[in-house]
């Protein structure tokens, strides 16, 4: 087992990142951009097919499902093969999903195929970061990586809005290219753009070099995988630093994934914006995310990451302010504020969790454990939102509920890990 140490409390002199890191960053941006544009196009396709409203959060559940189901397997797979090749295969799944969508397959099935690829992709991309860079560069690298990732999430949502808007050329995909019985769609041009983006991401994976890291092989028998994965979860949760950081990221990713859908509905009901315009509104959040991530990567070192726990409390208190907003400029300012707080808080906590997991386990397996817990939180929150939508709860009830959930969750985390928090604060 590796020995663990935090980086120096002094701010290190910035070093230039290796070229391989920026290749990985580019692949991550394009792939995530396409994933989130796909979600908007899939939502539009559900509306085009006139399916029930609760099917919309089920789309997000379908994308997230394999992150949880395949968690015991994807970590060992990421460690068993060259990670760039694992990313290549995962993007091939996404290309297949786009072809299915163009062929008229139900959007839920296509997004499940894309989610399968995304589940394979996650431990490979994050594990490669820990293999390429020393611990003292992880917060800075995560500032780049998470900033680019979250911006791709936001810009992908904006792109999805454009792909379903009247500005996009209308292309009725010919019935001859579709499965028997599939309805013609006006979203064909947008689907072609998504196919192109995923193809570019897949091709770019050939440029990702081998880090040279190798791990001891072990059995892939299902029972042994599950038992080992359970033990790895226990190791990371029982570790004071790992458990605290994973509790934070699990809570915030679960709420964040659901709020992405809540904001789209809020923009429609409170501001009167259609789906494509509501997607544009989310784009301004990128300004805050970039600023928050840049500040975190510049001023927060790994040893001081736990000092940011109160930021999570503030984030929970800010969410209900959405109910006081009734103009687009004020909505944009609020989204910038939320983005900045999220970027400044999540980036160091994610870096802390990645490094501690790498020390206790391996790069791929620790990221698989992290992904399992974060996506299980997302599934739970999305299921709650789908149920609330089916019950037709009012928007203000949902928004207040999510704000209270974040605040109470962070209070519980602060109480549970108060000894670790104060120890690290005094050590700094």
* pLDDT value at residue 128: 79
Q: How far apart are CA 236 and CA 257, in angstroms?
A: 23
Q: Where are the domains of the chain?
A: 19-211+220-427
Please state which architecture CATH assigns to domain 19-211+220-427.
Up-down Bundle (1.20)
118-177 tens-digit pLDDT: 888 877 877 777 777 776 777 677 777 777 877 787 788 888 888 888 777 665 555 445
Q: What proportions of the chain, in percent to the nearest 5, are helix, strand and coil?
A: 80, 0, 20
DSSP 218: -
The stretch 238-257 carries a mean pLDDT of: 82
59-118 tens-digit pLDDT: 888 888 888 888 787 777 777 777 878 889 999 999 999 999 888 888 889 999 998 888
* pLDDT value at residue 213: 61
* pLDDT value at residue 59: 87
* pLDDT value at residue 6: 35
Task: Share the mean pLDDT of the chain.
Answer: 78
Decide which of 419 and 368 is more confident: 368
CB 102 within 8 A of CB 185: no
* Beta-carbon contacts of residue 165 (< 8 Å; ≥ 6 apart): 276
Q: Residue 427 pLDDT more than 60?
A: no
9-45 tens-digit pLDDT: 333 434 556 777 888 888 889 998 998 899 889 988 8
Q: Residue 349 pLDDT more than 70?
A: yes
String of DSSP letters for 181-219: TPPP-SBHHHHHHHHHHHHHHHHHGGGPPP---------
298-324 tens-digit pLDDT: 766 656 666 677 777 788 888 888 888
Decide which of 350 and 44 is more confident: 44
Q: Residue 5 pLDDT more than 50?
A: no
Largest CA distance in the chain: 68
CB 305 within 8 A of CB 349: yes
Number of residues that this document lists for the chain: 428
* pLDDT value at residue 372: 86
């Amino acid at each position: 087992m590796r020995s663990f140490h935090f980086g120096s409390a002094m701010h290190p002199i910035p070093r230039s990142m290796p070229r391989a890191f920026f290749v990985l960053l580019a692949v991550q941006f394009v792939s995530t951009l396409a994933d989130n544009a796909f979600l908007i196009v899939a939502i539009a396709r559900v509306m085009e097919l006139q399916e029930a409203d609760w099917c919309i959060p089920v789309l997000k559940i379908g994308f997230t499902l394999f992150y949880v189901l395949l968690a015991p397997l994807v970590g060992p797979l990421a460690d068993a093969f060259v990670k760039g090749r694992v990313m290549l295969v995962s993007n091939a799944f996404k290309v297949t999903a786009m072809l299915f969508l163009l062929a008229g397959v139900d959007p839920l099935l296509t997004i499940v195929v894309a989610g399968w690829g995304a589940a394979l992709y996650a431990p490979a991309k994050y594990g490669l970061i820990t293999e390429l860079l020393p611990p003292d560069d992880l917060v800075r690298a995560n500032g780049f990586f998470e900033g680019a990732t979250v911006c791709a999430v936001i810009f992908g949502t904006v792109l999805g809005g454009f792909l379903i808007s009247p500005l996009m050329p209308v292309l009725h995909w010919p019935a001859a290219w579709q499965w028997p019985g599939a309805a013609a769609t006006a979203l064909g041009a947008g689907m072609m753009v998504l196919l192109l983006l995923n193809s570019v991401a897949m091709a770019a994976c050939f440029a990702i070099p081998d880090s040279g890291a190798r791990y001891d092989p072990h059995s892939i028998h299902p029972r042994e995988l599950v038992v080992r994965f359970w033990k790895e979860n226990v190791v990371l949760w029982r570790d004071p630093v790992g458990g605290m950081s994973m509790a934070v990221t699990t809570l915030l990713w679960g709420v964040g994934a659901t709020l992405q859908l809540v904001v789209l509905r809020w923009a429609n009901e409170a501001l009167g914006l259609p789906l494509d315009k509501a997607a544009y509104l989310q784009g301004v959040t990128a300004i805050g995310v970039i600023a928050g991530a840049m500040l975190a990567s510049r001023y927060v070192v790994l040893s001081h990451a736990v000092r940011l726990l109160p930021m999570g409390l503030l984030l929970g208190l800010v969410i209900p302010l959405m109910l006081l907003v009734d103009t687009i400029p004020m909505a944009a300012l609020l989204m910038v504020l939320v983005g900045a707080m999220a970027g400044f808080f999540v980036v160091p906590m994610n870096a802390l969790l990645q490094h501690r997991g790498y020390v206790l386990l391996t790069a791929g397996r620790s990221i698989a454990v992290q992904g399992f817990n974060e996506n299980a939180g997302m599934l739970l929150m999305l299921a709650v939102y789908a149920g609330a939508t089916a019950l037709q709860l009012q928007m203000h009830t949902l928004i207040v509920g999510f704000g209270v959930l974040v605040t109470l969750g962070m209070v519980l985390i602060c109480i549970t890990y108060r000894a670790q928090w104060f120890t690290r604060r005094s050590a700094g």
